[in-house]
């Protein structure tokens, strides 16, 4: 599957599978609320549980989230890579992404050539692990397809690099809070 074909599918509101440097993921256009709702339905994900936004660069992230000095320091050090930063959501971001109650968004720049190529073509995407909620995430396109079959339009080929979800750090408090331990120790 060609990344350009997958990009067109995303823009039509389809859900696609994409490899990342952590786990294999499912991606939706974060600017298409109906597509995002379908992503929740496909996964059986609890309504309102935030989905991370993957970006191709810090510049893309700065369009969606307010980055503190510490957030910028972590992004500079670990992006692209397996660190997700929870920061205040900017008004330029859709109101339905992230934690709508707290007005935050979780941003990550993956270190995977296929994911980065897709993000460079279409811009930031809502991406969550390819699994049913509360089960182990898929590590390959084949595993994801076995779980979701025709619910996902296409699966970009490739394996996930790390097999474990990213380190998730909340930077909206006076001191940072590790919400999920992952491959990067902060």
Question: DSSP secondary structure string, 7-43?
Answer: HHHHHTT--EEE--SSS-EEEEETT-HHHHHHHHHHH
Per residue in 78-91, pLDDT (tens digit) is 999 999 999 999 99
**Residue 172: predicted pLDDT:** 97
Q: Reply yes or no on whether the pLDDT at 124 is more than 90.
A: yes
How many CB atoms are located within 10 Å of the residue 133 CB?
Answer: 12
Residues 27, 49: Cα–Cα separation, whole Å? 16
Q: Which homologous superfamily is 3-180 in? A: DHBP synthase (3.90.870.10)
d(CA 85, CA 75): 8
What lies within 8 Å, CB to CB, of 133 at 6+ separation is: 43, 44, 45, 46
CA-based nearest residue to 108, from 148, 53, 65, 155: 53
Domain boundaries of the chain, sorted by first residue: 3-180
- Given a cut of 70, is residue 31 above it in pLDDT? yes
Percentage of the chain exceeding pLDDT 70: 99
Q: Per-residue pLDDT for 133 more than 70?
A: yes
Count the helix, strand and coil residues of the chain and give each as a percent rounded to the nearest 5. Answer: 30, 20, 50
pLDDT confidence bin for 162, thresholds 50/70/90: confident
| CA–CA distance, 41 with 34 (Å, rounded to integer) | 11
Written as six digits, the tokens of 1 are: 């599957």
- What is the DSSP code (8-state) at residue 30? T
Q: What is the pLDDT of residue 1?
A: 60
Q: What does pLDDT average to over the chain?
A: 94
pLDDT at 161: 84
């Amino acid at each position: 599957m060609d990344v350009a074909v997958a990009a067109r599918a995303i823009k039509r509101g389809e859900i696609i599978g994409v490899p990342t440097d952590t786990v294999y993921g499912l991606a939706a256009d974060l600017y298409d609320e109906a597509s995002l709702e379908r992503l929740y339905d496909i996964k059986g994900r609890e309504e309102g549980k935030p989905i991370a936004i993957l970006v191709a660069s810090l510049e893309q992230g700065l369009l969606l989230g307010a980055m503190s000095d510490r957030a910028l320091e972590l992004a500079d050090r670990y992006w692209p890579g397996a660190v997700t930063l929870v920061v205040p959501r900017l008004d330029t971001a859709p109101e339905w992404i992230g934690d709508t109650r707290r007005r935050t968004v979780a941003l990550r720049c993956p270190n995977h050539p296929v994911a980065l190529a897709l993000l460079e073509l279409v811009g930031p995407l809502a991406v969550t692990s390819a699994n049913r909620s509360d089960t182990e995430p898929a590590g390959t396109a084949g595993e994801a397809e076995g779980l979701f079959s025709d619910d996902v339009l296409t699966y970009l080929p490739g394996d996930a690099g790390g097999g474990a979800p990213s380190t998730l750090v909340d930077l909206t408090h006076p001191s940072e809070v590790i919400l999920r331990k992952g491959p990067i120790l902060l």
